[in-house]
Structure 1
C-alpha cells in the first residue's frame, strides 16, 4: 500500500460534482454479494493506486469494476442500469461470455469492452458500460434512457477475467474518476466531493464468500460456485475463503468447528498482493467417518491486526 506521499495523477481538467449525478450501474447490493473489485488508477508510474491510495486498481485502469461473486450469477441475470439519463451513442452485442486469456487477446483487439453501451450526457459527459452478457443489450442507438433504466445484464464478454460491469466516465474525452472528479486526492482523507448521488461503499479488500468441501477445491470451481460440500465419509474436511483486493502481509484466519471437539484452525499470512485469490485449510479423515451433527465455520481477514472483513457459515452432516 502506498503512503500518503504518493504523487497522484490528475486524470482530467477539474470537474465539479454537480455537473453529473450518478447512481450505481448494477442492480445488486455492493455490501454483498456484489462488490467493487477495481477503481480508476491514479498512479502515473507503472504501479497502481485507487482514489484511497490503496491497491484496488491496476496500471492504466480507466474505470470502476462492479463485480458478481460467481460465474453462475451471469445465468441468473443481473441488470446493468444507466447511471445517468442520456442518449445511446454506441453499442455492441454478440460477443460470447468467456473468461479472458492471453491467447484471446488478438481476436479481441478493438473489442476489449466486449458487449457494451455508451451513453452521451449534456455538457460533454459520457458513460460507458462494458462486459455485458451476450444477447442482453436492451437499447438501440439514438434512444433516450433515464437514470436507472436497464441497459442489459452483467456478463464476462471481452477482456474480462471475472463477471462484472466496467463503468467508465469521461468529460470531453478525458477520463474522470467518479470517486474523485477533481483529481485532488489527499490520502487518508474521506472524499465528499464525488459524482455519486449515493456513494457506493468502499471495501479495501475483503471476502467474496466462504465454503466447505471434501477436498481442497480448484479456484475455477470456487469462481463458478460449483464446489461440492463434504459428507461424513469425505476423505477430508476443508474450509476455504474466496478473497479480493488482498495485500501483502494480510492474514486470513480460518476456523471450522464441529461435534466431538472437531476443530480445524489456522492463520495464513498472505505473501503478496492479489486482485483475487483463495485460501483453504483442512484435515484428513481418520479411520472413522466425520462426526454427525452441526458444524460452524468462520473466515476473518485482518490487515495490520485490524479486521476488515468476516464471514460465517453453518452445515450439517446427517
Structure 2
C-alpha cells in the first residue's frame, strides 16, 4: 500500500498518454460549489509552483486537491469517483475526520493519506484517492471498478486541513501531473494536453463563498457553515468573503446595500499570500432595528486590476 508521505515519490519523465484518460474524482461541480485548492508542485526548490507557474500548490505536493466549500458537506456525503477503470490494490478506512494541525503530526505519521484507495490501471498507471470520510470506503481489495464508480465519500482524514479528496496519478511509480502530463510548462497558460477526458476549470484563486452575519464571524464557523445570520435586531450587519489561493497584493472589494442605501463598502489589499482566508466589512446597529426590505451584497477579487472572481448575495428582512 502506498499511504506514506507522497512527497517521497519522484516525478515521471514526460509521458505519452493517448490511451489513458481521467474523469473528475469528485461528484461536485468544480465551477462551484466545489473547487480545486491545490495542484502538483513543479518547483524543485523549497518554493512551490503549479503547472501555470502560479502559487496554487505547496512544496513537494504530489497530487491535485478537489475541495468541498465547508465541513458540513462531509456529512452530506459527496461521492469520490474512480477517475479511470482499474483494480483496487490498496485501501484503508477507520481514521477519524479531524482537521489537521501541527498537534496531530505524530498521530498522522505514516498515515498522511488518511482513509483512501489505490487503483491499478493498464500500462503501468495508478491513481490514489486520499482523505476519504471515515467509514465511507465502499470497495474491496482485488475488486474491479469502472470509471465513475463510487469509491467512498469526501472527508478530512489524515493530513488534511480542509475537506477534500487528494488525487495522485502515477506512471510506473512516478508522479504525473494530470494537467500537464508532458511536463512542458508555459508560465501563465494552461496546458493544451491533459489527461482529463473533459476539460476541468483552472481557477487561479477565488471566492469559495460569501455570506452575511450578525458580527465578524469566526473562521471556524465560516469553514463549518455555521455563521449566525443577522435578524432585524442584530447588533451588527456584516458581509464576509471566504477566499482561496490569494496572493500578496490582491484586492478584495466588498460592499453591502440595504433599503436605505449603502451599509458598508471597502477595498482591502491583501498583505500576504494565503491558501485560505476571509475578509469582512459591516456596520453596527444605530437605531432600534434594521430597515425592512431587501439587502444585497457583492465581493470581487482583483489581481493586478483584473477580476479573478465575483460573487453576489441577496436577502430580505421582514
Deviation at 1:232, TM superposition (A): 1.5
Do the aligned partners of 2:51 and 2:190 also contact (CA within 8 Å) in 1?
Answer: no
CA distance in 1, matches of 2:290, 2:179: 49
Deviations 1:123-172 (A, max 9, x none): 11100000000000000000000000000000000000000000000111
Residue 315 (structure 1) aligns with: 315
**Do the aligned partners of 2:67 and 2:165 also contact (CA within 8 Å) in 1?**
yes
1:119 matched to which residue of 2?
119
State the match for 1:3 in structure 2.
Answer: none
Q: Is the 8 A contact 1:11 1:183 kept in 2?
A: no
Match of 2:230 in 1: 230
The answer to whether the 8 Å contact 2:263/2:282 transfers is no
Q: Which ranges of structure 2 fall in alignment gaps of 5 or more residues?
A: 1-9
Partner of residue 200, structure 1: 200
**1:128 is aligned to 2:128:** yes
Check whether the contact 1:12–1:182 (CA below 8 A) recurs between aligned residues: no
The answer to which of 99-108 and 157-166 deviates more is: 99-108
Q: What is the aligned partner in structure 2 of residue 71 from structure 1? A: 71
Residue of structure 1 in register with 2:216 after alignment:
216
Structure-1 residue corresponding to 2:83: 83
Which stretch shows the higher mean deviation, 278-287 or 156-165?
278-287
Equivalent positions of 1:264-279 (< 5 A) are 264-279=264-279
- Off by >3 Å, runs of 4+ in structure 1: none
Distance 2:17 2:209 in 1: 34
Does the 8 Å contact 1:12/1:176 carry over to 2?
A: yes
Partner of 2:5: none
Deviates more, 1:189-198 or 1:155-164: 189-198
Equivalent pair of 2:54/2:188 in contact (CA under 8 Å): no
Alpha-carbon distance in structure 2 between the residues aligned to 1:111 and 1:254: 41
Q: Give the superposition deviation at 1:282.
A: 0.9
TM-score (normalizing by structure 2): 0.96
Q: Report the counterpart of residue 252 of structure 2 in structure 1.
A: 252
Say if 1:81 and 1:148, in contact at 8 Å, map to a contact too. yes
The answer for the alignment partner of 2:41 in structure 1 is 41
**Contact 1:11–1:42 (8 Å) recurs in 2:** no
Compute the displacement of 1:186 (Å).
1.6
Residue 18 (structure 1) shift? 1.1
Q: Does 1:140 find its partner at 2:137?
A: no
Give the CA deviation at 1:17.
2.9
| Cα distance in structure 2, aligned partners of 1:92 and 1:114 | 7
SS at match of 1:297: strand
Distance in 2, Cα, partners of 1:186 & 1:259: 49
How far 1:259 moved relative to its partner? 1.0
Q: Which runs of 5+ in 1 are unaligned?
A: 1-9
Query: Under a length normalisation based on structure 1, what TM-score does the superposition of the two structures give?
Result: 0.96
Counterpart Cα distance in 1 of 2:239 and 2:66: 26
Q: How does 1:97-108 map to 2 (within 5 A)?
A: 97-108=97-108
**Displacement after TM superposition at 1:193 (Å):** 1.1
> Which residue number corresponds to residue 152 of structure 1?
152
Q: CA deviation at 1:12?
A: 1.5
- Give distance in 1, aligned partners of 2:12 and 2:115: 26
Q: Is the 8 A contact 1:17 1:193 kept in 2?
A: no
Residue 187 of structure 1 and its aligned partner are, at CA, apart by 1.2
User: Deviation string for 1:261-291 (max 9, x for gaps)?
Assistant: 2421100000000000000011111133211
Cα deviation per residue 1:92-134 (whole Å; 9 max; x = unaligned)? 0000101011111111111000000000011111000000000
